[in-house]
Structure 1
Amino acid sequence: MTDHRGVSIVRWPEPGPLAGGGPETLLAAYHLRTQAEKGEGVAGVDDLPERYRAEVLDPRAAFLDDVVLLALSGDTAVGCLVLTAPVDGRAELKRLWTDPDHRGLGVASGLVGAALAHAEQGGVGVVRLSVWKWRADAIALYGRLGFTVSESWDEREQLVCMERVM
């Protein structure tokens, strides 16, 4: 789909094996880090809440109707993002994660850009997302990419809801 500074953005499942694992590895890192940031750290994937554990153990089933994008450096997955299937002209970005060793290289913005292009091609009118308020770098990235803070649709405290009209 996209090549950004030696990193390719592809729609998963990508044919062929990926070094270091595919979305499972990235989703595990995302969920374990998020639980720790929420003060609910767990020892491993088996201790994650069921809905998150299911994503890690079987992303193909968890995101069956959604678009999963991977950022690849060679044959190594270094970032991921999920764009949910549209409902009433809206889609949602979820699970944006970049391997810490590849941050600052445009991986996250490449993933979001590819997701927005896919949403636009699919006739999506609004793309929305929620992000934990302590993730200031992510909030700033989303702002640079045209997202604005919106009224919350999620009852969990400390979430910032944002959207972008396409």
Structure 2
Amino acid sequence: MSPAAVRIAAVGDAAAVSELLRAYHEHTEAEKVAHGLQEFGPLAPAYAAEVDAAAFPGADVLLAERDSQIIGMVVLRVDGADAEIKRLWVIPAARGAGAGGALLAEAARRATAAGAASLRLSVWDWRHGAIGLYRSRGFVEVASWEVRERLVCLRMPLR
């Protein structure tokens, strides 16, 4: 299997980004139900709007591709010395082959180039595989900035 290549999303990628976002949010909502945080229902309006617009003003959407197929994404927002990643998602069939790590590496490279001192993210505490990936890349748990319970906040120094 060839390694994943990472690139910035283009206008023509909007449908693929929306599809990835929908999969991400639907999977997350199902996990919340399984962990007793909510009852099953439609996507929250904010998430549905995000899927429909596939837009993140002021952020870069990075895509992972393998064999000309888009297999994952991450959103990177840099604001001065702070950088944050959101919506890291690799389709289940492509997991375990390095796409998530490639997306993280490119997000860190871009954040560093933009002058950020650290990269932060939050992740649900039951996502053990994702937490392991983040820790293997140098992220450490920090005091929470989230109001929602069960979100673990992690930060990685960039310089």
Partners of 1:161 and 1:17 in 2: CA distance? 30
Partners of 1:98 and 1:10 in 2: CA distance? 14
Q: Aligned to 2:50, what secondary structure does the other structure show?
A: helix
Residue of structure 2 equivalent to 1:74: 67
The TM-score, its normalising length taken from structure 1, stands at 0.86
Report 1:27-106 matches (<5 A): 27-39=21-33, 40-42=39-41, 47-60=42-55, 63-86=56-79, 88-106=80-98
Does the 8 Å CA contact 1:5/1:106 hold for their aligned counterparts? Answer: no
**Alignment match of 1:25 (pick from 14, 19, 26):** 19
Does the 8 Å CA contact 1:126/1:165 hold for their aligned counterparts? Answer: yes
Tell me the CA shift for residue 17 of structure 1. Answer: 6.1
Partners of 1:130 and 1:17 in 2: CA distance? 25
Q: How many residues matched?
A: 153
Letter in 2 for 1:103: R
Partners of 1:73 and 1:94 in 2: CA distance? 21
CA gap of 1:17–1:116, structure 2 versus 1, over 3 A, is closer
Partners of 1:17 and 1:54 in 2: CA distance? 17
Tell me the CA shift for residue 13 of structure 1. Answer: 1.4
Q: Aligned to 2:78, what secondary structure does the other structure show?
A: coil
Cα RMSD (Å): 1.7
Does the 8 Å CA contact 2:3/2:97 hold for their aligned counterparts? Answer: no
Gaps in structure 2 of 5+ consecutive residues: 34-38
Letter in 1 for 2:64: A
Partners of 1:84 and 1:41 in 2: CA distance? 30
Gaps in structure 1 of 5+ consecutive residues: none
The TM-score, its normalising length taken from structure 2, stands at 0.90
Identity among equivalent pairs (%)? 38
Does the 8 Å CA contact 1:32/1:41 hold for their aligned counterparts? Answer: no
Q: Aligned to 1:129, what secondary structure does the other structure show?
A: strand
Determine whether 1:152 maps to 2:147. no
Does the 8 Å CA contact 2:59/2:77 hold for their aligned counterparts? Answer: yes
Does the 8 Å CA contact 1:7/1:72 hold for their aligned counterparts? Answer: yes
Report 1:88-127 matches (<5 A): 88-127=80-119
Does the 8 Å CA contact 1:66/1:82 hold for their aligned counterparts? Answer: yes
**Alignment match of 1:164 (pick from 136, 156, 159):** 156
Does the 8 Å CA contact 2:2/2:67 hold for their aligned counterparts? Answer: no
